[in-house]
Structure 1
């Protein structure tokens, strides 16, 4: 099963790009972020015509998350993050699809730092960590996917010295991510690309995409029961070069039905 995450930066304004990518890449499940549309404006008909069932949690002008599936109806288990310090913001949706529990999330940006927005980011991170621990305790195959708005290490940011004061690279945010990972989650993209410079976001300014001056802020975290089934993880980087595209590129993982066989050493 191929599971993707894509911050579309406006689902209606980028609908042509989204539909083209769905047709070309054909992911089985997609977590979307930054819909920037209320529930009634979600393009459900166009997405259904593309072959996907969908659930969504919209918000006028800002935020918004959705989950699309072409391998069975997403069985929604949660809409909104438990303990969200501002539940009016649509940032989390969770559903079971084809035997896997998937949490699609859009973690707050947090800028400017310091200030109320950064404080909200850290409180949201704390709530996510608490919920993630509850999910981990179930022993179920779980994926946490989406725009985490954090670069975990210096390898995940172009010229890290320029980001030292930014909320996405703040020591507090990186420590929160490390604390989440310490529960036993597997970073899928870094597992497949342990030493590679690989980014998922490229600013619209300063020709960032062409210069490969990016950030890795879109992540897949896999629970221990699912991590052994990881086959591949990639970024559809070329989508970032399309006309009227998002500043994020789609990211996807491939999960096998069974753990892949490993060749024995020697």
Structure 2
């Protein structure tokens, strides 16, 4: 089974790229972030025609998350991260698919930092940790995936000395990520590629993709029962080079059958 995560940076504007990638790689389950589309503008027909069922939570102009499944039923579990009933940003959706809990998230960017946006990022992180702990302790097979907007270590960022004040790399952000990991989650990509430089995002400016000046901010965190099934993990880096592509590349894991 192949599970993928992809920040599409606008699901309608990048739809040809998304559909081309789906046809090329045929992932079984996909989590999407940054739809940048309201509920009614999600391209469900095109997704269905590609062979996928879908659930989504849209938001006009910003944010938005979705989960796709190829030929499998999707049972939605929740579409909001608990802990703040006033939070109106579409950043989390969770489903039960093929006996796995798939939690798709789009963690806030947080810039400029310090400031209100950075405070919101850290508050959202705290809410995520609380809910993730409940998921982990449930004993269920859980995949926590999406755009975390965090580079956990210096290995995950091109020229880390330039990023010290950025919300994605500030000590508070990395500390929050490591605190989450201490619950017992496995970073799938890093587990299979220790010490290797791997990026999932390349800015549109300064030929970042051509120079491979990237960041690793899209992650797969696995609960123990899923970790035992992990076979492979990687990034479809070439997709970032396609015309009108997102500034992220799709990230994926492969799991053995139960």
Q: Is the TM-score greater than 0.5?
A: yes
Matches within 5 A, 1:31-110: 31-84=31-84, 86-110=86-110
Deviation at 1:74, TM superposition (A): 1.1
Q: Which residue matches 2:248?
A: 248
2-structure distance, mates of 1:225, 1:85 = 31
Q: Which residue matches 1:132?
A: 132
What SS class does the counterpart of residue 231 from structure 1 fall into? Answer: strand
Q: Which residue matches 2:172?
A: 172
Deviation at 1:73, TM superposition (A): 1.5
Q: Which residue matches 1:233?
A: 233
Q: Which residue matches 2:188?
A: 188
Q: Which residue matches 1:261?
A: none
Q: Which residue matches 2:142?
A: 142
Whether the 8 Å contact between 2:51 and 2:71 is mirrored in structure 1 is: no
2-structure distance, mates of 1:225, 1:104 = 18
Whether the 8 Å contact between 2:186 and 2:222 is mirrored in structure 1 is: yes
What SS class does the counterpart of residue 24 from structure 1 fall into? Answer: helix
1-structure distance, mates of 2:160, 2:55 = 37
CA shift digits 1:46-68 (9 cap, x unpaired): 00000000000000000000000
How much is the aligned-residue C-alpha RMSD, in angstroms?
0.8
2-structure distance, mates of 1:244, 1:67 = 22
Structure 1: 5+ residue stretches without partners? 259-266
Deviation at 1:84, TM superposition (A): 3.7
Q: Which residue matches 1:163?
A: 163
What SS class does the counterpart of residue 31 from structure 2 fall into? Answer: strand
Deviation at 1:85, TM superposition (A): 6.8
What SS class does the counterpart of residue 81 from structure 1 fall into? Answer: coil
Structure 2: 5+ residue stretches without partners? none
Whether the 8 Å contact between 1:6 and 1:251 is mirrored in structure 2 is: yes
2-structure distance, mates of 1:137, 1:237 = 34
What SS class does the counterpart of residue 228 from structure 2 fall into? Answer: helix
What SS class does the counterpart of residue 32 from structure 2 fall into? Answer: strand
1-structure distance, mates of 2:218, 2:159 = 18
CA shift digits 1:155-210 (9 cap, x unpaired): 00000000000000010000000000000000000011111100000000010011
1-structure distance, mates of 2:41, 2:73 = 21
What SS class does the counterpart of residue 210 from structure 1 fall into? Answer: helix
2-structure distance, mates of 1:208, 1:128 = 30
Whether the 8 Å contact between 1:63 and 1:90 is mirrored in structure 2 is: yes
Whether the 8 Å contact between 1:85 and 1:124 is mirrored in structure 2 is: no
2-structure distance, mates of 1:126, 1:207 = 35
Q: Which residue matches 2:20?
A: 20
Which TM-score applies when normalising by structure 1? 0.96
What SS class does the counterpart of residue 225 from structure 1 fall into? Answer: helix
Matches within 5 A, 1:114-129: 114-129=114-129
Deviation at 1:86, TM superposition (A): 4.9
